[in-house]
Amino acid sequence: MSTLYEEIGGESTVGEVVTRFYGKVLADKRLAGFFHEDDMEELSEYQTEAFTAALGGPGSHRWELAKQLHQQRGIYHEEYDLVIGYLADALHETEVADHVISETLFAIAPLARDVISTAPSPT
């Protein structure tokens, strides 16, 4: 039985998806501000590691640290939905099969509770 990581195409495809994903996120003025102080090369490596682990690929990820870092950023449902949309777009553009995209988005859905802020939204 193969993992989602293998079905996506492994390391090279995950790397391409992450590159496309951040290109989209950083081009969106509603999201770019979340990353203005980040080292994007380091963040891309970190995201590749996280995405790989979430899809059953090799390695591990520091999920507790990820939760802490995201909670400090004040990310709400609106921003999270935009990010997931850009991830889906990046997966489509990388020619990942539709059923694998659906399974991928389903696999990462539980991470929303660790990313979306629990503080009241300012809007």
Q: Determine contact, residues 7/52, Cβ cutoff 8 Å.
A: no
Can you say whether residue 18 is alpha, beta or left, with left for phi > 0 and alpha for psi between -120 and 50 degrees? Answer: alpha
Q: What is the 3-state secondary structure (H, E, C) of the chain?
A: CCCHHHHHCHHHHHHHHHHHHHHHHHHCHHHHHHHCCCCHHHHHHHHHHHHHHHCCCCCCCCHHHHHHHHHCCCCCHHHHHHHHHHHHHHHHHCCCCHHHHHHHHHHHHHHHHHHCCCCCCCC
Decide: 8 and 97 in contact? Cβ < 8 Å.
no
Say whether pLDDT at 96 is over 80: yes
Comparing 86 with 34, which gets the higher pLDDT?
86
Q: What is the CATH number of domain 4-113?
A: 1.10.490.10
pLDDT of residue 37: 79
Of all residues in the chain, what percent carry a pLDDT higher than 70?
A: 86
pLDDT band at 112 (very low <50, low <70, confident <90, very high): confident
77 annotated as belonging to a binding site for a ligand: no
pLDDT for 7 beyond 90? yes
As a whole number, the mean pLDDT across the chain is 87
pLDDT value of residue 11: 93
- State pLDDT tens for residues 31-69: 999 888 778 898 898 889 888 988 899 976 566 666 667
Residue 84: what residue type?
I
**What is the average pLDDT across 73-101?**
92
